[in-house]
Amino acid sequence: MKNFTPGEMLFYGGIAGMAIVVAIAVVVIAVLAGSQRRLRKKLNEEYGGNLK
């Protein structure tokens, strides 16, 4: 394995960190979108109306 310089470690570590953050963000957005759909459906059933 190649010995990385501190600058290379920061560079590649930053890329890896950003990839992890993007993956987590995709999961969180998917979960929140599902929760939003369920909440809107429940509110429409209980209170009527056309919520967007």
Q: Annotate 27-42 with DSSP letters as a single string.
A: HHHHHHHHHHHHHHHH
Split at pLDDT 50, 70, 90, the class of 1 is: low
Look at residue 2 in the predicted model and tell me its pLDDT: 79
Distances (CA, A) of 39 to 6, 11, 44, 47: 48, 42, 9, 12
Claim: this prediction has a pTM higher than 0.75: no
In this predicted model, what pLDDT tens digit does every residue of 33-51 receive, in sequence order? 999 999 999 988 888 876 5
In this predicted model, what pLDDT tens digit does every residue of 2-26 receive, in sequence order? 799 999 999 999 999 999 999 999 9
Look at residue 10 in the predicted model and tell me its pLDDT: 97
